Amino acid sequence: MNWWKGLKSKISFREPLKKHTSFKIGGPAEFFIEPKDENDLRLLLIVTKKNNMPVLLLGAGSNILAGDKGVKAAVLKLNALSFKKISFKDSHLEAGSGLMLGQIVKAAQDHGLSGIEFLAGIPGTVGGALIMNAGAWGKNIGDAVSRVKVMDYNGKVKVLKRKDIKFAYRSSSLEKFIILSADFKLSKRNKKEIKEDIKMLVQRRRGTQDLCSPSAGCIFKNPEGGSAGRLIDLCGLKGKTQGRAYISSKHANFILNQGGARAADVLKLMDLAQKKVKTKFKLTLKPEIKIWH
């Protein structure tokens, strides 16, 4: 039976994930689905569950290594306009989960509202960033949020207050939900100053990170009190190649795809970095990226 009949979603079959990940790596998703709105998303969750079809949520695809054989799952992307609404009330910004962080940073700047400048340059969606508590320069998105509207995997919607959400370094208690939208509490600030800060942060990022080839950003989480990039660097692994993937010579916590890299190549480099760091520093590097098999 075609369980997807009756949905208003945009559906593709055996969709190559390499088209949807910043790494430009990944085999086909059995189903690639863009629900039209909240109601369609709810129906989708119900029918996939009934048909034992696993569901995977994709944000901007910037923190994912999808396997070469793809995934036997329904990959959902909240790409429809109803998940990309943005509104302002007093000093609050309410943003749909499908918006890119760059879009909300710019909108806040245009309204003379400050508090999320540090998100500039992070290539994620609002939803994806919240789930993993993305951050930079000592700040995390969880610090700026005041309420989050979520749907559980049974299709039930609720609004969580900041105090009911646990945020930690690159993780949150939101992982068990699908994020629909988030409310950020910001404060008034001169637009020109906001713009200058954003420019400075983006430049700083360009100065230290390797953004010229496809990647998934930092591969490993930083171990407590240290930098994964520095540790991998000290193991002499910069420039190390495996197939068409290599460890960046600029920032050792970046693995780059020089065109045609396979997930297997990236996994081998990750394994090598983990083993060398373990031997030299007795530290275990944990992946920051999500690996989809």
Binding residues for ligand EPU (CB under 6 A): 136-137, 208, 217-218, 221-222, 227-230, 233, 251-253, 288
Q: How far is the CB of 25 from ligand EPU (least distance, A)?
A: 16
Token digits of residue 156:
């039930």
Angle, alpha carbons 41-43-44 (nearest 5°) = 60
Q: Please spell the DSSP secondary structure of 126-151, one letter per residue.
A: HHHHHHTT-EETTEEGGGTEEEEEEE
Name which of 28 and 123 has its Cβ closer to ligand EPU: 123
Q: Among residues 38, 45, 43, 37, which one has the least CA distance to residue 80? A: 37
When the beta carbons of 143 and 233 are compared against ligand EPU, the nearer one is: 233
Q: C-beta of 61: minimal distance to ligand EPU in Å?
A: 13
Provide the minimum distance between the beta carbon of 285 and ligand EPU in the complex, in angstroms, as a whole number.
Answer: 10
Output 147 or 221, the one with its CB closest to ligand EPU. Answer: 221
What CA–CA distance (Å, rounded) separates 174 from 170? 12
Structure tokens at 236: 């002499």
Question: Which residue lies nearer to ligand EPU by CB, 82 or 171?
Answer: 171
- Judge contact between 241 and 219, C-beta under 8 A: no
CB of 263 to ligand EPU, least distance (A): 18
Beta bridge partners of 64: 290
Task: Indicate the SS3 state at residue 154.
Answer: coil
By beta-carbon proximity to ligand EPU, the closer residue of 4 and 254 is: 254
Instruction: Name the minimum Å distance from CB 186 to ligand EPU.
Output: 20
Q: Are the CB atoms for 92 and 185 separated by under 8 Å?
A: yes
